[in-house]
Amino acid sequence: MSTFMVEDVFRCPQCGYHVIEEVQENVTALSLVNAIGEGGDVAYSPTAVDCTDETECRYECFQCGEILVDEDGSPIRTTADLYIYLNTRQPTLSLPPKKEKRNG
C-alpha cells in the first residue's frame, strides 16, 4: 500500500474542502501529560484512539460535516475503508483547487 497526504487526494463532494476528520462516539480516551505551566496550562502527548466494537467512528469533511460514504451509501467506518475510498473515489488528476476554511 502506498502512503499519501489526504489533502493531496481529497476534496469534499459537498463543499470542496480538503480536510477529513474522524468522529468517535462512546470513547474512553487517555492523554499523556508532558508538562504543566504555573497557570495550569497542560501540554499533552498526541494520542490516538482505535475504534472498537463499542466505539462508533465515521469520517467526514472538517469544513461542512459531509459524512463520507461507500458505494452502497453506508458511512465509512474504518481506516481501511477510508483508504479504499480515497484511492477509488477521489481521482487525483481531476481534483479542483483546495478551498480555504472560512472563518466563523
pLDDT tens, 19-33?
Answer: 999 888 877 777 788
Rounded to the nearest 5°, which phi and psi values hold at 37? -95, 170
DSSP code per residue over 25-89: ES------EEEE-TT--EEE--------TT-EEEEEETTT-PBPB-TTSPBP-SHHHHHHHHHHS
For residue 103, is pLDDT > 80?
Answer: no
What pLDDT, in 10s, does the model give residues 31-89? 788 888 888 888 888 776 666 655 688 999 999 999 999 989 999 988 888 888 988 87
Q: What pTM was estimated for this model as a whole?
A: 0.67
| Consecutive H or E run containing 22 | strand 20-25
- Which sequence spans correspond to the domains of the chain? 6-94
* 78, 80, 86, 87 alpha-carbon torsion, rounded to 10°: -160
